[in-house]
């Protein structure tokens, strides 16, 4: 392909701003009516959203981890579903930065990212023991075929490419990547969580899908700190964005919807000192979540400069702390939101409950108790978190 036009972080930011405005205005309605933001996600892809952190020499904007984290948080503040739906694509783009893919495979991925293509993928299956792979790779007269079912295919309804794992005829686990429009690939809108309903994280069914040898890969190499930390930082960024969305809705409903209680001395809810106090606590929660996110992102940036093992562990611990902290602040902000007014705020037409439901769902992605225990082990005894993909 021809060399891409130069792009900067500022240009991408400017291009996505009106898209985020549209997402913000319609997020409550989409949640209530289960309407996926297909056009908006496509517009973000066309604006070069996945090029944001790709090196400038490769046609990207060369953003730092902090810049990327702040961008994702801003996307999540507009619609947290969109931030999470784009998560697989951001992780693919990150592999171009951190050297986890090389050679022909890297160029292939780079070309796809520069074309604005989107990605989904999962090893998860919702049958059998945790971590088991029942999806199969077999050979028939026409070549190799994949059969099976994958779940939690985040962003799957928007993706151009789907990656997963299968077990071959010798019992080995292999990776594969196929285009989502290939015969036999079926994407279902069956994700039914209490929140984050529009992340397109449902099932991907594979019915005798043809796969070329070049589309197969070796299983992932053993996890190394901090190569998978960005996956968890994106969740923290999403939680930070949810806290910000709750803050913004608190301000809006105080100005436009809420009325002061009968014995308040204020004429408007916005003038009631107790309402202002609640809004201040929500704002503090959103600020704290953002600060924790930025601190963790900067720890990752420092590691990618120094490259030493100690900074790698410090970075993954910081990301774990941000995930726990941002989750607590998002849940707090989303619950406090209802204290700025009375029963009117529980009306389904306002959709204010979605912030708590979204935060609760994202916070359930990883076991916070295990993360907290790992953080404590590092602080008390210098024991590094396990390099198992969860840190």
Q: What is the pLDDT of residues 124-180, one digit of tens each?
A: 998 777 778 999 999 999 899 999 999 999 999 999 999 999 999 999 999 999 999
- pLDDT band of residue 356 (cuts 50, 70, 90) is very high
From 21-35, 59-73, 87-101, 265-279, the region with the lowest mean pLDDT = 265-279
| All structural domains of the chain with their residue ranges | 9-119, 136-217, 229-381
User: Percent of the chain having pLDDT more than 90?
Assistant: 84
Provide the pairing of β-strand 136-140 with 173-179: unpaired
User: What integer best gives the mean pLDDT of the chain?
Assistant: 94
Instruction: Let me know: does 242 contact 353? Beta carbons within 8 Å.
Output: no
Residue 35 has pLDDT above 90, yes or no: yes
Query: Per-residue pLDDT averaged across 294-320, rounded?
Result: 96
Note the pLDDT tens digit of each residue in 247-280.
Answer: 999 999 989 986 777 776 766 777 788 889 999 9
How many angstroms separate the CA atoms of 127 and 124, rounded?
9
CATH code: domain 9-119 is 1.10.540.10
Tell me if the domain spanning 136-217 has CATH number 2.40.110.10.
Answer: yes
**Which pLDDT score is estimated for 102?**
85
From 187-191, 215-219, 307-311, the region with the lowest mean pLDDT = 215-219
Instruction: Let me know: does 74 contact 23? Beta carbons within 8 Å.
Output: no
Question: Can you say how many angstroms the Cα of residue 373 is from the centroid of all Cα atoms in its chain?
Answer: 24
**Which burial class, exposed, middle or buried, applies to 211 when counting CB atoms under 10 A from its CB (0-12, 13-18, 19+)?**
buried
| 99 contacts: CB under 8 Å, gap ≥ 6 | none
Q: Which two tokens stand for residue 344?
A: 């009117």
- pLDDT band of residue 221 (cuts 50, 70, 90) is low
**Which pLDDT score is estimated for 342?**
82
Query: Per-residue pLDDT averaged across 216-237, rounded?
Result: 87
How many angstroms separate the CA atoms of 200 and 152, rounded?
8
| 30 contacts: CB under 8 Å, gap ≥ 6 | 36, 37, 79, 81, 198
Instruction: Let me know: does 13 contact 45? Beta carbons within 8 Å.
Output: no
Residue 316 has pLDDT above 80, yes or no: yes
**Which pLDDT score is estimated for 214?**
93
Q: Which residue has the higher pLDDT, 100 or 281?
A: 281
How many angstroms separate the CA atoms of 21 and 49, rounded?
16
- What count of other Cβ atoms lies within 10 Å of the Cβ of residue 358? 32
Q: Which residue has the higher pLDDT, 100 or 267?
A: 100
Instruction: Let me know: does 32 contact 263? Beta carbons within 8 Å.
Output: no
Residue 222 has pLDDT above 70, yes or no: no
**Which pLDDT score is estimated for 266?**
66
Q: How far apart are the first and last CA of the chain?
A: 36
**Model confidence, pTM:** 0.96
How many angstroms separate the CA atoms of 348 and 325, rounded?
29
Residue 306 has pLDDT above 80, yes or no: yes
The domain defined by 229-381 folds into: Butyryl-CoA Dehydrogenase, subunit A; domain 3 (1.20.140)
From 119-128, 246-255, 349-358, the region with the lowest mean pLDDT = 119-128
- pLDDT band of residue 4 (cuts 50, 70, 90) is low
Q: Angle of helix 309-336 relative to helix 273-306, nearest 10 degrees? A: 160
- pLDDT band of residue 26 (cuts 50, 70, 90) is very high
**Which pLDDT score is estimated for 2?**
56
Query: Per-residue pLDDT averaged across 33-46, rounded?
Result: 98
């Amino acid at each position: 392909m021809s060399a891409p036009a130069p792009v900067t972080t500022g240009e991408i930011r400017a291009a996505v701003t009106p898209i985020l405005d549209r997402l913000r205005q319609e997020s409550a309605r989409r949640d209530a009516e289960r309407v996926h933001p297909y056009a908006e996600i496509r517009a973000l892809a066309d604006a070069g959203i996945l090029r944001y952190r790709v090196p400038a020499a490769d046609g990207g904007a060369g953003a730092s981890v902090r810049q990327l984290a702040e961008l994702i948080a801003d996307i999540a503040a507009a619609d947290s579903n969109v931030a999470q739906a784009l998560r697989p694509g951001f992780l693919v783009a990150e592999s171009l930065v951190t050297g986890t893919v090389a050679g022909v495979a890297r160029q292939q991925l780079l070309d796809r990212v520069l074309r604005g293509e989107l990605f989904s993928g999962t090893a998860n299956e919702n049958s059998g023991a945790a971590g088991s792979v029942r999806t199969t790779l077999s050979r028939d007269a026409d070549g190799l075929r994949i059969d099976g079912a994958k779940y939690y295919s985040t962003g799957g309804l928007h993706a151009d490419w789907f990656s997963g794992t299968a077990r071959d005829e010798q019992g080995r686990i292999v990776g594969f990547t196929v285009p989502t429009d290939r015969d036999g690939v079926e994407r279902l809108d069956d994700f039914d969580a209490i929140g984050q309903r529009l992340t397109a994280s449902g099932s991907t069914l594979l019915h005798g899908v043809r796969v070329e040898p070049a589309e197969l890969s070796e299983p992932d190499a053993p996890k190394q700190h901090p190569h998978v930390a960005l996956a968890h930082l994106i969740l923290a960024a999403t939680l930070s964005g949810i806290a910000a969305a709750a803050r913004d809705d608190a301000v809006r409903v105080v100005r436009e919807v809420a009325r002061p209680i009968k014995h308040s001395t204020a004429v408007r809810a916005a003038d009631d000192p107790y309402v202002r106090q609640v809004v201040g606590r929500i704002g503090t929660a959103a600020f704290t979540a953002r600060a924790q996110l930025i601190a963790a992102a900067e720890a990752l940036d420092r590691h990618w400069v120094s490259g030493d093992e100690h900074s790698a562990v410090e970075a993954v611990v910081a990301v774990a702390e941000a995930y726990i902290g941002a989750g607590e602040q998002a849940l707090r902000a989303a619950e406090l939101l209802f204290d700025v007014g009375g029963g009117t705020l529980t009306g389904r037409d306002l959709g204010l409950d979605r912030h708590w439901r979204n935060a609760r769902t994202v916070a359930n992605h990883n076991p916070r108790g295990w993360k907290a225990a790992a953080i404590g082990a590092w602080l008390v005894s210098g024991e590094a978190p396990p390099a198992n993909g969860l840190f």
